[in-house]
A and B are shown apart, each in its own frame.
Chain A
Amino acid sequence: MTVPLPRTRLLAVTATALLLAVTASACAPGSDDEGGGTDTAAADVETDVAAMGDLTLTVWDQEVRSGQDKQLDTLNASFENRYPNVTIERVSRSFEDLNRTLRLAINSDDAPDVVQANNGRSIMGAFVEAGLLRPLDGYAEAYDWEERFSEDVRALSSYTEDGATFGEGNLYGVPQTGELVGLWYSKPKLDELGIEMPRTTADLESALQTAARAGEVPIQLGNKEGWPGIHDFGFVQNQFVPADEIRDLGFGVEGSSWTTPENEQAAQTISSWADNGYFTDGFNGFDYDPAWQNFAKGEGVFVIAGTWLLADLSAAMGDDVGFALPPTGESGEMAVTGGTGLPFAITESTEHADAAAAYLDHITSPEAMTDIEEAGNLPVYGAASDTADGPQADVLDAWGAANEQGAIVPYLDYATPDFYDLLTAQVQDLLAGSQSPEDFLSTLEEEYTSFTGSGG
């Protein structure tokens, strides 16, 4: 038989627990550091790493795919060779694992010196706001990084000191690679169907129709994870909405709107593609990787995906695969979702900021870019497409053209901290037909304006 706690005892225990909880909560969590991080003026930058004495740089990265992994190892080794007093302790994790653990690590006393921090508001923006990353403008001047990185590229790693405005302000990171979301196509399939590579939206739609009638999978899509849908939607949006407007929406600029006629056209178009069976059957229950792997095996005519598939697709398909920028819509103006690989940033708590900056300079040097290109990836600048061939030449040309025309627009999920979760779910709904294009846009508008505070 159990003896029930007398009511008074129970009360006393509850009261004590509550009291303890309140005591524990008396100190608000988190540090009250000012945002922005410690600035270093160009004149104070020490570039002579050899004179800094023995030191260890801890670097957290996510370059785990085969080509990228080797490239960074090589660069680390050549940095250590150049400066024998420096030891680089490399910690690599997958993209997801890095994002999950970085938040905790960067706040601790022994945070890494250099970290790869995703550009968006939820990672880099939050770190800047909390004053956990150093502005790199002084280093950029000392090392002449403005020569290296185009304005579009720098904007993607720029925030104001309070982390509130994205796309301008201080520079907080430098990337090694570029990234574009475009159209991968299978050359043999296009030949079989007797269609030319589409350059306009109208041509693309008729190509999709031809492919569907011939019983092919027009666009391979595996959207179980949700994020691939963002790329497919962005790809369609690029063809209808002016690049400037998309850029403002991506950076979360106040006053921009989702409920425009152009966005409505984009939403209606992609939803009609889903209705017409232009995507893989059951795409919302199908994983991303098997989808592009099926394409690589010869199933499907197109895949809407990023240049990060370059190494894998060209290994599997050789010259049978091609890459193109999104077709242009009625305006004829080009826009393409893209950006950079995760930028490398310097943490506020590092004791070797100058050495870390020299390291960033080293891994984004012109020689490094050559290594990256040779490893089958897309270097962020200085790509020489005349030495490459096949799909890599396509990708390098596309990157060059997009940068030259200022056509690169940021990922849509950068807009607000919650936009990624919202957009993934909303695109799944839109494509499944359980959400109308109008409702889809008004849901996005609601979250967007409540964050940017414009109120419409």
Chain B
Amino acid sequence: MAEPSRRTGAPPGEPRLVGYLYALPALLVFAAFLLWPILRAVSLSFYEWDGLTQGTWVGLDNYLAVVSDPTLRAPFVHALVLVLFFCVAPIGIGLALAGLMSRVRLRGMAFFRTVIFLPQVVATVVVGIAWSAIYAPQGPLNDVLSAVGLDGLATAWLGDEVWALPAVGLVGTWVFTGLCVVLFLAGLAKVPPALYEAARLDGAGPVREFLAVGLPALRGEIAVAAILTIIAALRTFDLVYVMTSGGPSNSTSVPSYEVYDRAFVEGEVGSAATVAVVLTALILAVSIGINRFAEREVT
């Protein structure tokens, strides 16, 4: 057996292999329910397999297809568009709202906070069905448009190749703005009032005050919000499944939907696994990137 190394900076106490024994139960659960499925998915991604007959080894072909096949590339592009709606817009709106709400002392503030947060609480499937009804050709949105004389703008929102993706994205904005506002409000609450006072004494107006004091204090919260919303955008499934099934003409297909469609509908399990692996890697990379960024700024 190898002599345990005694580097300086190593954890105190005698390093003993028995430590792994204590971790074993958790490790087994982890391996059975996470590690094994992930490895299995990775291994499946090297095959062309219909889920029924014997699979054939195709090496990296499935991965090359993600880059070269437009029907596989498009879902990733759509996911990036959704990032704008799920992450950038809610964080922008969230900052503005939180900045405003933290300044005014209004009666019933808790009520408004709750209302803004409410979309987060509702199941996404319910949200999707409700918004599908709003976007319907004879739905409330088109009714409102024609009521104010904008009939020309009315369209079948979810049936239009140009508008379907933004329409789905906007639902994401609606859902995640509440989360961002509540996060940012909590962040602003911990800023010492003295800082604001100091800024005001230096002659800062409300906007300047927020930019100089509030915004820097929210760095951590923004990072958290960004990670949560970007992950949500990249792995969107339920909204698309309920609202458009990837249509019209695949204009709202997203990676997660593609995984489901290929694995369970089209019988292309290998390709589905590949998309899943690429998506996982992408999400991992984005989370690590944002984390790094946020931590570097703090120190």
Contact = CB atoms under 8 A, between A and B. Distances in A.
A20 B159 contact: no
B221 interface: no
B266 A29 contact: no
B211 interface: no
B51 A20 contact: no
Contacts of A69: none
Nearest to A424: B247
Contact of A130 (B39, B52, B157): B52
A122 interface: yes
Contacts of A428: 159, 247-249
Interface in A19-57: 20-22, 24-25, 28-33, 35
B184 interface: no
A284 B161 CA distance: 9
Interface stretch (A75-83, A84-92, A220-228, A260-268): A220-228
Given A224-B159, A226-B245, A24 B47 contact: no
A286 B137 contact: yes
Interface residues of B, number: 43
A284 B159 contact: yes
B247 A425 contact: yes
B57 A28 contact: yes
A130 B43 contact: no
A225 B245 contact: yes
Contacts, number: 139
Contacts of B160: 284-285, 432
B88 interface: no
Interface string B141-157: 00000000000000111
Contacts of A286: 136-137, 156, 159
Contact of A28 (B51, B54, B299): B54
A89 B267 CA distance: 28
B56 interface: yes
Interface residues of A, number: 50
Contacts of A104: 51
B51 A285 contact: no
A17 B295 CA distance: 27
A352 interface: no
B152 to A, nearest CB: 14
B269 interface: yes
A103 B51 contact: yes
B52 A129 contact: yes
A417 interface: yes
A159 interface: no
A30 B269 CA distance: 11
Interface in A222-242: 223-226
A118 B55 CA distance: 23
A224 B49 CA distance: 30
Interface in B38-91: 39-40, 42-44, 46-47, 49-57
28 contacts: A22-B43, A25-B43, A28-B54, A29-B47, A29-B55, A29-B269, A31-B53, A33-B53, A100-B265, A104-B51, A107-B52, A122-B265, A122-B266, A126-B52, A126-B53, A130-B52, A224-B158, A225-B245, A226-B247, A282-B137, A283-B156, A284-B248, A285-B135, A285-B136, A285-B158, A421-B265, A429-B248, A434-B161
